[in-house]
């Protein structure tokens, strides 16, 4: 089977949430026909409105001509029915981060799309080989991991699983470039490059705090002032959401068979249990609402 980047004209995006909507927007803006699919009609309608609003703002800011914006909107269609992806040459999945659900979706897709359609997953940490496990043709399954917010973030990790065809990795890499991104090729592994490398930043910060060496405010300040980072580890965890950061940390720790360098602290998990999830709830490692009492550190 030949998987050629040049053959890709129409792309299916499954999952119209935060990531899928961003991916569909970029694809339509750079010239691809896009079918955005979601099982939830409300999510689909909201994504369409959000995408069109963001495209309009690009015109207002002078980043896109009005006729190019109209063309981009015209290239985007939405559908709640997976069979509308039948004539796509590539599908990018951005649904819930659950292995069993992704596995059955990928197997179902094989009965809908053509034999040479590339099947990509935007998973942030699951194994590409595992996602492809129920597929008849595992060679066409690849990782294409974007970062939030997709229209602004330049990086995309392209991940070949153990069974992925080299041509599929190449075509996906070229797609990343065509979308105006800086793709980087990674091997399949828990957390790939970015989410694995980032663990050290979070867990060292958590251990420094747990040892009583310094509180979060001081660790964050030092990493920014002296280390040159834009955000400290605690600020970053509060921004991402601790209910996302903690399970990913646990998943990567387990994936590397309890490697001590990836071990987090008990407090990390207790934050989730206590509902101190970060900025989105007004309280995480920091207090964001004036009327809440300060947390002990």
Binding site for ligand NAI (CB under 6 A): 14-20, 37-40, 43, 94-97, 101, 105, 122-124, 145-148
The secondary structure element, H or E, covering residue 43 is helix 41-60
Comparison of 2 and 96: residue with beta carbon closer to ligand NAI: 96
Q: Is 157 a catalytic residue?
A: yes
Answer for the pair 11, 92: CB distance below 8 angstroms, yes or no. Answer: yes
228-267 b/e (C-beta count within 10 Å ≥ 16 → b): eeeebbbbbbbebbbbebbebbebbbebbeeeeebebbee
Comparison of 193 and 295: residue with beta carbon closer to ligand NAI: 193
The secondary structure element, H or E, covering residue 68 is helix 66-75
Rounded CA separation 280/295 (Å): 16
Comparison of 199 and 209: residue with beta carbon closer to ligand NAI: 199
Q: How far is the CB of 240 from ligand NAI (least distance, A)?
A: 7
Q: Is 122 a catalytic residue?
A: no
Active-site residue identified among 37, 125, 195, 245: 195
Answer for the pair 94, 13: CB distance below 8 angstroms, yes or no. Answer: yes
Q: How far is the CB of 101 from ligand NAI (least distance, A)?
A: 6
Active-site residue identified among 37, 121, 124, 249: 124
Q: Which residue is nearest to ligand NAI (CB)?
A: 17
Rounded CA separation 93/142 (Å): 10
Comparison of 36 and 72: residue with beta carbon closer to ligand NAI: 36
Q: Is 235 a catalytic residue?
A: no
Comparison of 70 and 101: residue with beta carbon closer to ligand NAI: 101
Q: How far is the CB of 28 from ligand NAI (least distance, A)?
A: 17
Q: How far is the CB of 128 from ligand NAI (least distance, A)?
A: 12
Rounded CA separation 154/237 (Å): 21
- Give the up-direction half-sphere exposure of residue 110: CA atoms within 13 A in the CB hemisphere: 16
Q: Is 257 a catalytic residue?
A: no
Q: How far is the CB of 44 from ligand NAI (least distance, A)?
A: 8
Rounded CA separation 140/161 (Å): 10
Enter the tokens of residue 203: 């867990």
Rounded CA separation 126/19 (Å): 16
Active-site residue identified among 157, 235, 245, 268: 157
Catalytic sites, residue numbers: 124, 145, 157, 195
């Amino acid at each position: 089977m030949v998987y050629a980047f040049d053959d890709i004209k129409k792309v299916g995006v499954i999952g119209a949430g935060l990531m899928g909507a961003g991916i569909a927007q970029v694809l339509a803006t750079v010239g691809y026909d896009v079918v955005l699919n979601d099982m939830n009609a409300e999510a689909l309608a909201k994504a369409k409105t959000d995408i069109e609003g963001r495209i309009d703002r690009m015109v207002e800011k002078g980043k896109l001509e009005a006729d190019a914006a109209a063309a981009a909107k015209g290239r985007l269609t939405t559908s709640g029915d997976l069979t509308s992806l039948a004539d796509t040459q590539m599908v990018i999945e951005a649904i819930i981060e659950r292995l069993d659900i992704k596995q059955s979706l990928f197997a179902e897709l094989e009965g809908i799309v053509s034999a040479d359609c590339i099947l990509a997953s935007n998973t942030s940490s699951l194994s590409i080989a595992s996602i492809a496990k129920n597929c008849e043709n595992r060679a066409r399954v690849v990782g294409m991991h974007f970062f939030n917010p997709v229209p602004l973030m330049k990086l995309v990790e392209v991940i070949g699983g153990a069974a992925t065809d080299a041509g599929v990795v190449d075509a996906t890499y070229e797609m990343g470039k065509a979308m105006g991104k800086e793709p980087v090729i990674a091997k399949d592994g828990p957390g790939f490059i970015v989410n694995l490398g980032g663990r050290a930043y979070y867990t060292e910060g958590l251990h420094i705090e747990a040892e009583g060496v310094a509180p979060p405010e001081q660790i964050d300040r030092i990493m920014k002032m002296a280390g040159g980072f834009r955000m400290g580890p605690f600020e970053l965890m509060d921004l991402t959401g601790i209910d996302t950061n903690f399970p990913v940390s646990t998943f990567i720790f387990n994936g590397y068979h309890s490697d001590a360098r990836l071990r987090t602290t008990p407090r990390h998990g207790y934050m989730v249990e206590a509902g101190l999830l970060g900025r989105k709830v007004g309280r995480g490692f920091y207090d964001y609402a004036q009327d809440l009492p300060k947390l002990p550190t």
